[in-house]
Amino acid sequence: MCISCFAFEVHKDLLFLLAFNRDELLTRVTAPPAFWTDHPQILGGRDNQRQGTWLGVTTSGRVSFVTNYKERANGHPRSPTTRGGLTVDFLLGEEQPLTYLESLDLSKYSGFNLVVADLLSGSVAYRCNRKDTVPRTIGPGVHVMSNGHIDDTWPKMKICKEALVRVLNSGEIEGHNLPWETIFNDVLGQAKRVEDESLLPNTGVGIELEKMDSGVFVEPFDKQDGLHGTRSQTVLAVWRDGHAEYRERWLDFPTGQWHEVNHTFAIGRAFEGLPHGDEL
């Protein structure tokens, strides 16, 4: 399971900020984030098994990320069509976000939440194929998405969002300066599990799994198919002058070592003409 928290149009210097934890089977082979050799405009990690990605950004300002929708395994048969292809198709295309989401055949995929953005046009949109399936635009603000519906009130989602809001209001973001360590540690690194069962969601997977998955950062735990947990932490910052930075910390399995990758690049043109919201 995964969690993402993003801020759009809430800061005078920073257009878009995304903090994303990817939770996955630890043995699933994944390429660390890089510009892809077959599609050099795309920057992101890659699932070597099915060639999709959970998160990607292009040099033209298109951003896409996806999370699974948590549900009982026997409630919906697993689809052979990879959800990681949803992000890639948008990144390679030219449609506006809402148009792209309206074109999807939802029945082809297992449960998903998908956010797509064209930062040059200032457009962000969201769609889920399990609840409130009509696609919609996402307005300025801070939003959080895990494995239920966007902006649900799961404890981990509330914790993550409140932590990112504190960073945005701290006064530490200026020019191209971002408190990276604070975001990695205080926004994405909170591993404490929720033990109060009354606070946890009931997604049909059982209360023990809900507890194991209740931290923002998910410590490895054993499921039927092997060890699961947070495999990578990604922070993407896009400034209004077109400067962008993508930092990721990723877990090398089975060594247990964490590595960090940093990519800095320029996006098509500046965003200074776009409006920005008030301080949160």
pLDDT of residue 274: 56
Whether residue 269 has pLDDT greater than 80: no
In this structure, is residue 278 part of a structural domain?
Answer: no
pLDDT at 76: 63
pLDDT band at 278 (very low <50, low <70, confident <90, very high): very low
CATH number, domain at 209? Answer: 3.60.60.10
Report yes or no on 104 lying in a domain: yes
- Domain-embedded: residue 277: no
Is 29 inside a domain boundary?
A: yes
Q: Cβ(3)–Cβ(269) under 8 Å? A: no
The pLDDT of residue 205 is 87
Q: pLDDT by residue (tens digit) across 178-225?
A: 999 999 999 999 999 999 999 999 988 899 999 999 999 999 999 888
Q: What is the mean pLDDT of residues 241-269?
A: 93
pTM exceeding 0.85? yes
Q: Assess if residue 59 is contained within a domain.
A: yes
Residue-wise pLDDT tens digits, 167-187: 999 999 988 999 999 999 999
- Across 58-62, 72-76, 99-103, 234-238, least confident range: 72-76
Contact in structure between 229 and 221 (CB atoms under 8 Å): yes
Residue 124 placed within a domain: yes
225 domain-assigned: yes
Q: Which domain holds residue 239?
A: 3-266
Q: Is residue 200 in a domain?
A: yes
Query: Into how many domains does the chain fold?
Result: 1
pLDDT at 275 over 80: no
